[in-house]
Chains A and B, each alone.
Chain A
Amino acid sequence: MTAYKVLIADDNSVDRKVLSRVVRNQGNDVIEATNGFEAVDIFTEHRPDIVLMDVMMPGLNGKEATRQIKTIADEDFIPVIFLTSLSDAQSLADCLESGGDDFLTKPYNHVVLQAKIASYHRMSEMHRTLLNQRDEIARVNRHMLQEQCVAKAVYDNVAHAGCLTSPNIRYELSPLAVFNGDVLLAARKPGGGMHVLLGDFTGHGLPAAIGAMPMADIFYGMTAKGFGLREVLREINQKLKSILPVGFFCCAAAVDLAPDRQAASVWMGGVPDCYLLRNDGEMIETLSSRHLPLGVMSADKFNDQMTEFPMANGDRLFLWSDGIIEARNSDGEMFGQERLLNVVRDSAHASEVYEDIQRAVDEFVDGSEQDDDTTLIEVVMDDALREDKESAVTKAGISQGPRDWNMEYRLEASTLKSFNPVPLMNHIMMEVPGLRAIGGQLYTVVAELFSNAFEHGVLGLESSMKQSPDGFVEYYRQREKRVAALEEGFVRINMHHTGDGDSGKLTLTLEDSGDGFDYQQHDISIGNNYSGRGIPLIESICDSIEYHGKGNKVSVVIHWPLELET
């Protein structure tokens, strides 16, 4: 049986002695106080578990002593049980009202006395547990907020606002939006214009925020180095795919704003419809997602196809995450795409749409207890973006890097069996700042040319086999067999680049040890879609394709900057 520390306060020594003896006989420790003042002093010093308090005492009476004890106990629950010979209802009620927790009427029933002491002790234990848990929750919460602050600071350093403060951009993003999974990034391109990315990660809290860090890192890093948005998206997708758990991804809308050609290229995956508004007209053009969100598809299946929209000065793009559409009013009703479209439609002018949307959403959610996670951005085409101080600086940067160089790389049979030289080739080409913007396309070209040289040239596989599904399977069966048996052969790769820093010419020549093919029998002019040699993939970027000798050597020429097709 547990020994409780019991304070007995009674001025009547006979009463006190008897009660004290009873309580001690029941296994408790007793401290005695002979009046109210003593009771308060002893309480402060000994912190008993429970107090048995006589109501009527000279000096400081029981009720007043109780008040003082309760004040000293503060948050701790110290049960005070009044001892009274009064038995009328009002006197007993008075005891409780003055801060007592219960009463015992004289003469005491010993069984009830011990039961009450034990019961109140359980109650104060429970109270202590409750306080500890409350403190623990508060501590954990403080810790979490502190962690979020640190995480936010790190995040802000990585995913800084970039050029979101540009005069052609207006945006709304709650300060802790990162923990809602919303991200807004904007960066000037070295050659003028800008990249804008709006992302909405699945989930909330830290899991949603964490993917935004590599995303921002890649976005700013690659944009500054002159990579095209397609390459940036491809890289982000691959990174997110590899780091995020299954079921986590990032819905995104990305814009390559190009004032030099008065156009915007847009990539949208998993975000709600966005709008393009003309400065001089009432027509609303709807932009819809055509892709799966970032981080879903593997690198080889990722589609980086962008949709190009001509944009004159003052034309505006409006992008948002689903936060705005799912904003709820006090009835739990959602704002919805329809209401949003009506706001855009009813605006007096394109330049007022941004404020109208903000106002409409604010009015709609007014008074409802909802999280502030509406993310909205307006991007205006502005000729001033073409040239600016910032781009002048980076333009100097773009002129650096290798200009005139030649490199030859010959791979022998034993190397060809297991080594893929394409990433290395691509890495070397990416040293030329002007080639970075077309890194993805270049990669495809080199990969195609190499696989032609290796598979059709060195291994002697017939490309026509791949035309039927059965042949396709057979092709790869044969390929595996021939790779295993390969003892002789080579592929020679030559890369030659000339340039002046602002433009350049890259010539890629691949020669293989194979028998070649009768290229004069084929129409190899650009645009011909014959199978197996991957030409359609190459034609969009290469200025010329030329076969030499018996057809085991091919040269392609690429000029940069690319003439972009609209």
Chain B
Amino acid sequence: MIDLDSLNMLKDIMEEEFQPLIELYIRDSDRRFPEMRQALQEGDCESVRMTVHSFKGASSNVCAVELAEQAYSVEKMAIAGDTAHLRGAIDELEQSYLRVRQQLNSLL
């Protein structure tokens, strides 16, 4: 799930800021899924796109490469306005995120 080599490099770079960064990632991301669902309910695909785009960037930064890729496919759906598949895709993305979160928590 997580590219551990890259994550160790990030740890070296961030030093004492590493743990706060991961905590920040988790705090931000936890918030994003209700946001996305809310926006989708309101039919605001652009808002969904912005949120999932940020999530993609943040995930990629914490070396969750696959999660970032999955987020990118959701982003493309949002751009295409594919509301029919978005709900399910967001649910799947959240499942993947929860696994990454668990792994990150265990690393701290």
Contact = CB atoms under 8 A, between A and B. Distances in A.
Interface in B50-67: 50, 53-54, 56-58, 60-62
A22 B13 contact: yes
B4 interface: no
Contacts of A12: 54, 57-58
B50 A14 contact: no
B54 A17 contact: no
A25 B12 CA distance: 11
B24 A18 contact: no
Interface string B13-47: 11001000100110010000000000000000000
Interface residues of A, number: 15
Given A14-B21, A22-B13, A107 B28 contact: no
Contact of B24 (A17, A21, A85): A17
Nearest to A84: B57
A106 interface: yes
A58 interface: yes
A469 to B, nearest CB: 100
B50 A13 contact: no
B56 A14 contact: no
Contacts of B61: 14-15, 18, 107
Main SS of the interface on chain B? helix
Interface in A318-357: none
Contacts of B21: 14, 17-18
B57 A14 contact: yes
Contacts of B10: 18
Given A22-B13, A106-B57, A106-B60, A58 B50 contact: yes
Contacts of A25: 13
Contacts of B56: 85
Nearest to A11: B54
Given A58-B50, A85-B57, A106-B60, A14 B17 contact: no
Contacts of B58: 12-15
Query: Most B CB atoms within 10 A — which of A13, A14, A56, A58?
Result: A14
Interface string B61-105: 110000000000000000000000000000000000000000000
Given A85-B57, A106-B57, A14 B13 contact: no
Contacts of B62: 14
Nearest to A14: B58
B14 A18 contact: yes
A106 B53 CA distance: 12
B31 to A, nearest CB: 11
B17 A13 contact: no
A63 to B, nearest CB: 15
B17 A21 contact: yes
A56 B53 CA distance: 9
Contact of A13 (B14, B28, B53): B28
Given A85-B57, A106-B57, A107-B60, A14 B28 contact: yes
A106 B25 CA distance: 17
Contacts of B54: 11-12, 15
Interface in A1-39: 11-15, 17-18, 21-22, 25
A12 B62 CA distance: 13
Nearest to B59: A14
Nearest to B47: A58
A15 B24 contact: no
Contacts of A18: 10, 13-14, 21, 61
B24 A13 contact: yes
B24 to A, nearest CB: 6
Interface string A203-231: 00000000000000000000000000000
Interface string A46-80: 00000000001010000000000000000000000
B101 to A, nearest CB: 13
Query: Most A CB atoms within 10 A — which of B13, B24, B50, B61?
Result: B61
Contacts of A85: 53, 56-57, 60
Contact of A15 (B17, B50, B57): B57
A365 B36 CA distance: 76
A14 B10 CA distance: 12
A85 B13 CA distance: 21
A11 B28 CA distance: 11
Interface string A74-118: 000000000001000000000000000000001100000000000
The 4 closest A-B pairs by CB, nearest first: A14-B58, A12-B54, A15-B57, A14-B25
7 contacts: A14-B62, A15-B58, A17-B17, A18-B21, A21-B13, A21-B14, A21-B17
Given A12-B54, A13-B28, 19 more contacts: A11-B54, A13-B24, A13-B58, A14-B25, A14-B61, A15-B57, A17-B14, A17-B17, A17-B24, A18-B10, A21-B13, A21-B14, A58-B50, A85-B53, A85-B56, A85-B57, A106-B57, A106-B60, A107-B60
